[in-house]
Amino acid sequence: MKNSRRDFIKAGAIGAALAATGFSATGYAVDNEPVSKKGLKLLILGGTGFIGPHMVREALRRGHSVTLFNRGRSNASLFPDLETIRGDRDGGLSGLQGRKWDAVIDNSGYVPRHVADSAHLLAPNVGRYVFVSSVSVYADFDIVNNEDSRLATIADETVEEVTGETYGPLKALCEQAAASEISNDKLTVLRPTYICGPGDHTDRFVYWPLRARRAGRMLWPGTPQDIIQVIDVRDLAHFTIDSIERQVQGVYNLVNPRGASTMGTLLRDCQAITARGGEAIWIDEAFLASQGVHGGVDLPIWFNSNPAIGFTADRALRAGLHNRPVRETARDLLAWWDSLPRQRTAKPRAGLSPMKEAEVIAAWRKRR
Ligand SMILES: NC(=O)c1ccc[n+]([C@@H]2O[C@H](COP(=O)([O-])OP(=O)(O)OC[C@H]3O[C@@H](n4cnc5c(N)ncnc54)[C@H](OP(=O)(O)O)[C@@H]3O)[C@@H](O)[C@H]2O)c1
């Protein structure tokens, strides 16, 4: 069964563009000599959502200083001791004028015009521009994508509304916008897959440990061999700060290696951390589809049983990416989930409802 862009983006993760700007997606380089181990001045565009706070903490842990730039709408009181410049990426960048930083991390670029504006303004004043993109930039999710794979395009490049359909092509155009303002040697483009771990407000990954904890008869999609790829938010943060310290330039898929995790290992991990058993009922994707249940949307993280899909991790691994075991991500995510107020966790934002799951299992057993 084919992966549609909508499915992939809904799941959240939800070449030509870069080539057009002269920015080589194939070119990447790692300078193993740290610019400076300590005391870098970093600017984060965003910083108070999910991935931002992990990057802030990793930077501070390493002795760097951090300035945040945001509108003050999300978790505004999270870092009271940090310098925060209030502004809006949509035409409100004046607070950044005349300031210099060793590097900027752009976590909040979804609209090409916004990225072009910030990259243009900051180009003379930053040593490195790290753009957080996404694997959603790729054109085809039914192949194994490396960093040189074809990128998604959009018919009307002036569109600024971010939807399931436009998110990936717009991120590709954002990469292009950054590349047209920042020289190759100063630009780092990170393409994470599903970012998971403490603070993940999408409730996608946590569906599986929660499901394992309820035990009983559990619907598990596809087969135990089906590949899944995620990245722990703390490993992303680590690689991001590394890329600044070590002047890592170029484009990087940030994923765990294909084959390192499957739905079968995820089940074992979830059962181990919850110390629960239960009966896993593996239901094939065609039957799930016949019941209106789709990978990525109703069953997060998993897509289908095609063994030839995903994203290569080789380049990032060579540049120093370290992926912690998925079991650790699941354990820490569940602990974070359990610390949330009851009104937040009462209705998870992703995954099958227990009622729908029971219906599908019953239909599957009847069919056999
Ligand atoms: N979650 C995933 O699985 C996943 C996967 C792949 C890639 N990504 C990428 O990861 C990034 C998102 O991570 P995150 O939400 O955790 O980022 P974040 O940087 O932690 O949070 C978003 C930040 O951007 C600020 N912001 C939003 N709109 C703004 C605007 N118009 N002007 C100024 N500041 C603005 C928000 O603050 P205010 O609201 O106060 O302005 C907030 O601080 C995105 O680039 C996304 O494409 C995510």
Query: Regarding predicted confidence, which is higher, 46 or 21?
Result: 46
Closest residue by Cα to atom 36, ligand 1, is: 46
User: What's the CA-to-centroid distance between 16 and ligand 1, angstroms?
Assistant: 25
Q: How far is the CA of 110 from the centre of ligand 1 (A)?
A: 9
312 pLDDT exceeds 90?
Answer: yes
82-91: list long-range contacts, CB under 8 Å, 24+ apart.
82/56, 89/45, 89/114, 89/117, 89/118, 90/114, 91/117
Report the nearest atom of ligand 1 relative to the CA of 194: 3
- Span from the CA of 106 to the centroid of ligand 1 (angstroms): 9
- Hey, where are the domains in the chain? 5-196+232-254, 207-228+259-307+326-367
> For 86, which DSSP code?
E
Pocket test for ligand 1, best of 84, 108, 145, 229 (most atoms within 8 A of CB): 108
Give me ligand 1 centre to Cα 130, in Å.
14
Reported as a pLDDT band with limits 50, 70 and 90, residue 4 is: low
Give nearest CA residue, ligand 1 atom 8: 134
Q: How many residues are listed for the chain in this entry?
A: 368
Pocket of ligand 1 (CB under 6 A): 12-13, 46-52, 70-74, 88-90, 107-109, 132, 134, 192, 194-195
286 CA to middle of ligand 1, Å?
Answer: 35
Fold annotation for 5-196+232-254: Rossmann fold (3.40.50)
Task: Tell me the C-alpha distance between 300 and 8, whole Å.
Answer: 10
The residue assigned the tokens 């760097």 is 64
Integer Cα distance of 186 and 26 in angstroms: 15
Centre of ligand 1 to C-alpha 49, Å, is 6
Write the pLDDT tens digit of every residue in 223-254: 999 999 999 999 999 999 999 999 999 999 99
Residue of 107, 191, 329 best suited for mutating to test ligand 1, as the one with most atoms within 8 Å of CB: 107
Share of the chain above pLDDT 70, in %: 90
**Nearest CA to 138 among 17, 51, 315, 298?**
17
Residue 20 tokens read as: 């057009």
Q: Which atom of ligand 1 is nearest to the CA of 192?
A: 6
pLDDT at residue 86, as a whole number: 98
Entry pTM: 0.92
200 Cα nearest atom in ligand 1: 1
pLDDT at res. 296: 86
Give residue-wise pLDDT tens across range 141-196. Answer: 999 999 999 999 999 999 999 999 999 999 999 999 999 999 999 999 999 999 99
Q: For residue 207, give Cα distances in angstroms to 216, 252, 271, 314.
A: 15, 28, 13, 28
If you search the block for the tokens 């700060």, which residue do you land on? 241
Give 367's pLDDT tier (boundaries 50, 70, 90). confident
Q: Which residue from 8, 10, 51 has its CB within 8 A of the most atoms of ligand 1, so it is best to mutate?
A: 51
For atom 25 of ligand 1, the residue with the nearest CA is 46
